[in-house]
Amino acid sequence: MTKFQASVLELVSKVPKGKVTTYKELARALGRSRAWRAVANALAKNPSPVKIPCHRVIRSDGKVGGYKLGKTRKAELLMMEGIVIKKWKVNLQKFFIKLSKGTS
């Protein structure tokens, strides 16, 4: 595992139950705003996908997105944490948590 991948997993562990963040936001918080695909790849290699809550990371458009254990399981986990999903989308205004500093 690379240092970047470890940093991604450490940061995603800070996303609380009932909240989501995005691949893009994780990249921003790590100082690499264009590295959202690298973030997604790091999460895909998560050795413990329920303990390290990568299911709390969704797409910037609010869509649930992929998950190591399947999209349906990801949606189930999010709903068990109180997140409302309609047509495979999450209301980012209600459930999004910002991890980066600054306004951009």
Q: How far apart are CA 28 and CA 23, in angstroms?
A: 9
Which residues does the annotation mark as catalytic?
A: 54
Residue pair 20/57 in contact (Cβ under 8 Å)? The answer is yes
% helix, strand, coil for the chain, step of 5 = 40, 10, 50
Residue pair 81/59 in contact (Cβ under 8 Å)? The answer is no
